Copies of this chain bind each other. A is one copy, B any other.
Amino acid sequence: MATIIDGKKVSIELLKELQKKTDKLQKKPSIAVILANNDDASRIYVNSKEKQANILGYKSMVYKFEKTVKQEELIELINKLNNDSNVNAILLQLPLFNHLNENELIELINPIKDVDGFHPLNTGKLYSNLNPFAVCCTPKGIIKLLDYYKIDITGKNTLVIGRSNIVGKPMAALLTNRDATVTLAHSKSENLKEITKTKDIIISATGCPKLIKKDMVKQNSVIIDVGIVKQNNGKLMGDVDFENVKDKVSYITPVPGGVGPMTIACLMENTYELFLKQN
């Protein structure tokens, strides 16, 4: 029976540390969130971020836009936020309405205020192991979970499934920087089962419910589940067939309560760290 990785607990500890550090600050970190979509999940997520920022005493602003918003309005807003020394962190909540050019806007964010670490200058620095201003929150949170549970990464055979710019690719880069052997697989990968079976650590970020089954994983491996899909019955489901897989592996994250809470805690930490870099 695996140890269930308690992301809730670890995130609370991280936030407590952050609270202590923030309390010592005269001026408080501030984060501006841009919400330009109709996505329910995004709205819930932005609310959680705002709530957490308020608890920490950060200044938090949310800019919500209707579907009629023009690219130019967002360009103008980002330029304004870039130039506002009272704003330390800019978060462009993805996805955007379809008509908007996401990459143009990401590139417009001043890299030192790019709290998600999505700007190519920051991803490039992450990739070359050269101190990006910020590291994407979900992969950063996963490394913290592995470290908290003292799971050895160096030299291990690790697998990241899913190659999004938000999770999969930066996750692979972080693992490489931590001396893991890293395989990056995705929807086009042939023979996924053959690939998963030999890995010491699997991080799955596909959004395909129950993709990872018991016969696909190695005995005593470590399973991190980034997937989160709401079923018709309202239940949240991860990429991993948790009930069956948990008997075979050494560590596993639940959904919910695994990776999710770490993402928001890392966003708060990134905001704090950007504040320090600017002050």
Contacts and interface: CB of A to CB of B under 8 A. Distances in A.
A248 interface: no
A181 B189 contact: yes
A127 interface: yes
A237 B179 CA distance: 27
Given A120-B120, A124-B125, 12 more contacts: A103-B130, A120-B121, A122-B124, A127-B127, A128-B169, A155-B188, A157-B190, A157-B195, A172-B184, A176-B184, A183-B184, A184-B184
A139 to B, nearest CB: 13
A165 interface: yes
A154 interface: yes
A156 interface: yes
A49 interface: no
A156 B190 contact: yes
A119 interface: yes
Total copies of this chain within the assembly: 2
Shortest 5 CB-CB contacts between residues of A and residues of B: A124-B124, A120-B124, A123-B124, A183-B183, A181-B189
A163 interface: yes
A198 B196 CA distance: 13
A185 interface: yes
Interface residues of A, number: 36
A206 to B, nearest CB: 14
A125 B120 contact: yes
Interface of A: 103, 119-125, 127-130, 154-157, 163, 165, 169, 172-173, 176, 179, 181-186, 188-191, 194-195, 198
A176 B188 CA distance: 10
A171 B112 CA distance: 28
22 contacts: A103-B130, A119-B124, A120-B121, A120-B125, A120-B130, A121-B124, A122-B124, A123-B127, A127-B127, A128-B165, A128-B169, A155-B188, A155-B190, A156-B190, A157-B190, A157-B191, A176-B186, A179-B186, A179-B188, A181-B195, A182-B183, A182-B184
